Structure 1
Amino acid sequence: MRTETPWGPWDPAPLPEVARRFSVLHTPWWIAGGYAVELAVGHAFRDHADIDVLLLRRDQLTAQQVLAGWEWWAADPPGTLRPWLPGETLPPHVHDIWCRPGPGDPWRVQLMLDEADDDGHWVFRRDPRIRLPLDRLGRVSGDGIPYLVLPVQLLYKAKSRRPKDDQDFATALPMLSADQRAWLTETITLAHGADHPWAVRLRRQW
């Protein structure tokens, strides 16, 4: 779905193309955002304004190899874009990078950087008390595409809920196991309070 932004139009690259590009990496990566929810659910159910690829911050420069010849622009500070220079290690406050083949092209891929500790755990950047072993952070679709697990993706979507996030949550809820519901309830409560609407709804599922 093509959309306009103050920094130019978005026309997200097709999921198979993105997966093909990143499949050459020897470091972990996952499809994130709404596409991750669809991969978990098993079917498409809404339009997408972008496509997100999650990388660990320590592996960020691998994206420049995968998207060699493209333009990469970092959200630094959030709400603005500036060029991400070749070989530059982005500072810890930068989490999002917009990428396009050239200056006259629409944005095609958004990169997201996430944290990991030295003990092999993913660390939620909005609340470092929330952690998960890296080997539980993703799953692989039937087509061989790695994607972020539903509880983690929904935890990220819980902060600033938009209609599409509520739609993703409602569609994903029946797919969550009892353990996943418990984890998501606990982490949303920890990060956003027990009265968060999703935490309330999750508790009613028990």
Structure 2
Amino acid sequence: MRALRYSINVTLDGCVHHEAGVAPDEELMGYWTAEMQRADAVLYGRTTYEMMESAWRRPESGVWPGWMSAWEIPFAEALDRMPKYVVSSTLDAADWNAELVRGDLGDAVRALKAQPGEGLSVGGVTLPVALAELGLIDEYTFVVHPVLAGHGPRLLDGLSERVRLDLVERREFASGAVAQRYRTAAMRYVDGRER
């Protein structure tokens, strides 16, 4: 069974908006590239899918845009070729190596997790709340930036019940950001073995 991993940048006051001043530098982009490479596929809601596509899809020319730094290209290439699953009731079709997820969210994601492979990555703001409510997220990675946004969408805002997590890894970056990886406490052991 593939683990479902939720990873996101977050400010000290819990803001997860992509424009809240948490843009990765070269060191952090290397970290995010390695995180992307831990997954076989990504799972996005419509908004995140469209945002990621507009920023990271390889142009038809095959040449990455001039605004992109050389150290951003490995991330862009990893994401561009990654299979994607898009949860949306408003899209009629998705391309960019993408397939729409239809029907019951829990059943669809359980079926994706049951496929062989290394793992699934989920991003965004709204979809992860629904997946956490269903108990489907196995691992959470929060890269906490030394920024106070003061506004914007908050991390897992609206979650109806507490989710107990176990810290499994912590890494500090030169920028002052700190990556913290957690496993869901209930999912830590399967058949007596650590997952």
Q: Normalising by structure 2, report the TM-score.
A: 0.25
Query: Which has a greater percent of helix?
Result: 1
Please, what TM-score do these two structures have when normalized by structure 1?
0.24
More strand by share: 2
* Higher RCO (C-alpha under 8 Å, 6+ residues apart): 2
